Amino acid sequence: MAGSQHKLELKVEKFVASANLKTAMWVLIALGVLSFIIGLRSPERLWPAYLTAFFYFSCLGLGGLFFTAIQHIAKAGWSTSIRRLSESMTSFIPYILVTGLILLIGMHYLFPWANEEVVKSVPLVAAKTGYLNVGFFAVRLLLFCVGWLAFRYFIVGNSLKQDQSGDVNLTHKNVGLSVGFILFFSISFTLFSMDLLMSLLPTWYSTIFGIYTFAGLFQSSLAFLALMIIFMQRSNFVKGYITVEHLHDVVKFLKGFTVFWAYIAFSQYMLIWYANIPEETEYYLMRSQNSGWIMISMALLIFRFIVPFLALLPRGLKRNENHVILVSSLILIMQYVDIYWMVYPNFFHGHVTFGFIEVGMFAGFAGMFLYSVSSFLSKNSIVAIKDPRLHEAVNHHVTY
């Protein structure tokens, strides 16, 4: 390599969560528990908020594993030094199982098809009870969580084992496992989002819905990954392994999937708008007739696509940490707005409802997510230190 790159300083230390971070985590979790207890007194208010926050953080957890898997499949060298960060996001997956089981308690408040009266009075819903019934729903949820946990156990486990042994075969093994995960993920996540979000309005259907939620999942996961990279660069735990070059490439990914989200969102909208079939237009009518919802729909277009797209276009801004923090935070907020936009028009007679319960549930899940991520990072090395492709990541250099 060129002369200036010879004096690279490389350092990895153990990650220790700062006192502020720990306090913030516990405050968030306490806020979540508090609002859950308060919310139990008005369950029809609590469960939509719970579902929104649950889906949001499930997406981040799964997005971490998806990113890890595509890096293994592509045999990517550049990303080996940041792969552990995306692996740390997967540590939320066990929480998906636990919080998903809690969600089963509130099913009757959420899903019309879980109500006897609705099923009896609406033949269209009754016809779908072969798939949409409480028992099968619970089995599916359990099956997906167990599958994700198993893939996480092997893929992340192999990577952690390699930290000790340095065995190259573990890298080869992860390629096959990742292919398996992506196949399983594509089916399971499609059905997961259909079960949790699409079936809130059981008479409506969209065949692209799973891809739409996936686009949001990956965009928000990359935004969180970019924030973690900046956090690690600014902290003193790691030097030389995680650089602005990695940030640049992750932000390129982020920009790409910002476009992908818009592409999928528009594809869903345009076909429904053009065909103009009542079963399908129902969904967009609910989100455009009320003045509050039309504003939120437009906000999604502007702040989830147009603003981040233009803001991430120039090269210099992709390498500007403060700028990336702003844009990533905007995308993470808009991911919440997007899930809120999918869930809430089905409740409260179509009125826009947002308050303490929504904030509290989000805070609770955020606290759990941060706790799982930071405890994973403090237990394991921040960098996959014996990965055979690590030298490629250390010398990674984005050309013009």
Partner 1 sequence: MAKKRIGGYAGIWTDEHLVVEAARKVHSMGFSKFDAISPYPIHGMEEACGIKRSMIPYVTFGAGTFGLLGGLWFTWWTSAVNWPINVGGKPFFSLPAFIPIIFELTILFAALSSVGALFVLCKLPQVDPPVIDPDLTSHKFAIFIPENDMGYDETKLDQLFKSMGAIETKKVAEF
Q: Is 79 exposed, middle or buried (0-12, 13-18, 19+ CB in 10 A)?
A: buried
Neighbours of 367 (CB within 10 A): 20
Neighbouring C-beta atoms of residue 68, cutoff 10 Å = 26
Give, rounded to a whole angstrom, the gap between the first and last alpha carbons of the chain. Answer: 17
Nearer to partner 1, 6 or 41 (CB): 6
* Residues ≥6 apart with Cβ < 8 Å to 318: 247, 248, 251, 252, 255, 312, 324
Residue 391 interacting with partner 1 (CB under 8 A): no
d(CA 39, CA 363): 14
CB of 295 to partner 1, least distance (A): 18
Site map 3..32 versus partner 1, x via CB under 8 A = x-x---------------------------
Instruction: Return the number of the residue (50 or 269) whose C-beta is nearest partner 1.
Output: 269
- The nearest distance, CB 274 to partner 1, in angstroms, is 7
Q: Compare residues 258 and 372 and give the one whose CB is closer to partner 1.
A: 258
Identify the helix (H) or strand (E) that includes residue 99: helix 93-105
**Minimal CA–CA distance to 125: which of 104, 109, 111?**
111
Query: Which residues sit opposite 12 in a β-bridge?
Result: 238
Site map (CB under 8 A) of partner 1, residues 322-351, x = contact: ------------------------------
Q: What is the DSSP letter of 303?
A: I
Name which of 20 and 274 has its Cβ closer to partner 1. 274
What are the residues facing 11 on neighbouring strands?
239
Nearest approach in angstroms of CB 269 to partner 1 is 7
Nearer to partner 1, 26 or 266 (CB): 266
Three-state secondary-structure class, residue 176: helix
**2 vs 124 by CB, closer to partner 1:** 2
What's the min distance (Å) between Cβ of 395 and partner 1? 7
Could you tell me if 259 and 309 are in contact, meaning their C-beta atoms sit under 8 angstroms apart? Answer: yes
In degrees and rounded to multiples of 5, residue 239 shows phi and psi of -135, 135
Task: For the segment 270-289, give every residue that binds partner 1 (CB under 8 A).
Answer: 270, 273-274, 276
236 belongs to the binding site for partner 1 (CB under 8 A): no
315 binds partner 1 (CB under 8 A): yes
Options 26, 136, 313, 355; binder of partner 1; rule CB under 8 A:
313
On the CB side of 387, how many CA atoms lie within 13 Å of its CA? 30
Q: Minimal distance in Å, beta carbon 229 to partner 1?
A: 21
Q: Which is nearer to partner 1, 42 or 395 (CB)?
A: 395
User: Can you give the binding site for partner 1, defined by CB under 8 A?
Assistant: 1-3, 5, 266, 269-270, 273-274, 276, 313, 315, 395, 397, 399-400
